Amino acid sequence: MGFFSKDIKSLDDLFVHTLQDIYYAEKQIEKSLPDMISKATNPQLKQGFEKHLDETKGHIQRVEQVFQMHGVPAKGVDCPAIDGIIEEADEVAGDVDDKQVLDAALIAAAQAVEHYEITRYGTLIEWAKQLGRDDCASVLKQNLEEEKATDKKLTELAESKVNLQAAQ
């Protein structure tokens, strides 16, 4: 994201720019999840990705709602950070034949994505509050809570898979 863009002068500008960043990121995630669903072997992981695809569509709508509440048009701005995370995930997953190892790679990639979203939403919520927009903050908080819940489920799956492998 262009933090040094000359168009960003105020906290409000920064808030809108970061909203555009997460809007772009959510849309890229929406595009990449079907591929992750088809690659996942573990039924719980597959189901988790399917659920998160539905949630992601809801996240996009909520971000659009915040754009509207803030009186700016909904649009994305290129986010090389999320593109990099997704690109790296595709590269790693593309090289793995072992199904269990592939699932582990998918979990790791998904957690990197979730952590990116968690940091962005956390920042946006704080800035919204500072701008006196508690209404925007509470909508964004709903997305943050779902990202955190997804991350927690992924951690549980990663741990159960480790146990599974250790038992073999």
Gap between the Cα atoms of 26 and 124, Å rounded: 14
Shortest spacing between CB 26 and Fe ion, in angstroms? 5
Q: Which stretch binds Fe ion (CB under 5 A): 4-12, 70-78, 110-118, 157-165?
A: 110-118
Note whether 59 binds Fe ion by CB under 5 A.
yes
28 versus 56: smaller Cβ distance to Fe ion: 56
Gap between the Cα atoms of 107 and 75, Å rounded: 29
Contact (CB, 8 A) for 50 and 35: no
82 versus 104: smaller Cβ distance to Fe ion: 82
Shortest spacing between CB 61 and Fe ion, in angstroms? 11
Note whether 120 binds Fe ion by CB under 5 A.
no
Helix H, strand E, coil C: the string for 97-116 is CCHHHHHHHHHHHHHHHHHH
Contact (CB, 8 A) for 93 and 60: no
Shortest spacing between CB 38 and Fe ion, in angstroms? 20
Note whether 153 binds Fe ion by CB under 5 A.
no
12 versus 55: smaller Cβ distance to Fe ion: 55
- Rama region for 74: left / alpha / beta (φ>0; ψ in -120 to 50; rest): beta
Binding site for Fe ion (CB under 5 A): 56, 59, 117
